[in-house]
A and B are shown apart, each in its own frame.
Chain A
Amino acid sequence: MKPLRVVACDEKTVELTGIPPILRQCLFHLPEILRHRSQPGVRERLFPDLEPGNPRANAEWHDLADPELRHLFVSAEETVLRDLSALERDRVRVPLAHLAAWMSAINQARLILGELHHVTERDMDRTDLDPSRPKDLALLEIHVLGYLLQTLVDFVQNPTG
């Protein structure tokens, strides 16, 4: 099996290669995960308060900040879904300018899964995952999407490899 890699095609395009079937499955599951963005519990995680113990400041903050954040999160998802329509077998070409959107959408999904399944630090260290259990399946998805996120972070931090 080829390792997952980000390869620069030219100055404006990269290719994600070696996408394993399980990651491909997780990527196509993104819309289903991201539709929970506004669910109570998840909403508080993606749209956090500004100042603990100051309800007035927090209310003003949410009025001002949340619409812009929501727009950012939704447009990142839309960008990734558009790019994914070009996915062929184990590879997809992505404009370099879209990598921030990819990192955003993938991280949103990981955080949403974490909130929906009340994932703790201890859960994240578990290796005895049973995909027939919903929480374990969510942990598996968090790790698989984390593998892609780590690969993208490594690339943007050190594009020349």
Chain B
Amino acid sequence: MMVNVGQLRPAEVDQTDTDAALAVPWNVVVHNDPINLMSYVTMVFQRVFGYPREKAERHMLEVHHRGRSILWSGAREQAELYVHQLHSYQLLATLEKASS
């Protein structure tokens, strides 16, 4: 059934917008900083994402050389959990929409 958006009450539109925003895949991005040790960052990527050492090192080097790396993409809730874990290890991590 087609929904006429014009018939929806504002709250419904807001909810729909929110649902759509949450449904977009989200990137977990880690940003470079001058202090964190490369070996420490690699270890954190292995612990948080369960990545093998080689993959963790590739992401660490991408952060180091390009200033950022996308570590994971997917549902917002899981992405927020990953960001929280990365912050607990004191890495600079943010969320962004996968399309941006």
Contact = CB atoms under 8 A, between A and B. Distances in A.
Given A72-B88, A107-B40, A157-B43, A48 B35 contact: no
B35 A52 contact: no
Interface residues of A, number: 33
A42 B95 CA distance: 21
Contact of A153 (B34, B40, B95, B96): B40
Contacts, number: 65
A48 B94 contact: yes
Interface string B15-56: 000000000000000000111110110010000000000000
A87 interface: no
Interface of B: 33-37, 39-40, 43, 80, 83-84, 87-90, 92-96
Interface of A: 45-52, 61, 65, 68-69, 72, 103-104, 107-108, 110-111, 114, 119-121, 123-124, 142, 146, 149-150, 153-154, 156-157
22 contacts: A45-B92, A46-B90, A47-B87, A48-B92, A48-B94, A50-B80, A51-B94, A61-B80, A65-B87, A68-B84, A104-B89, A107-B36, A108-B90, A111-B33, A119-B34, A121-B34, A123-B34, A142-B35, A150-B40, A153-B37, A157-B39, A157-B43
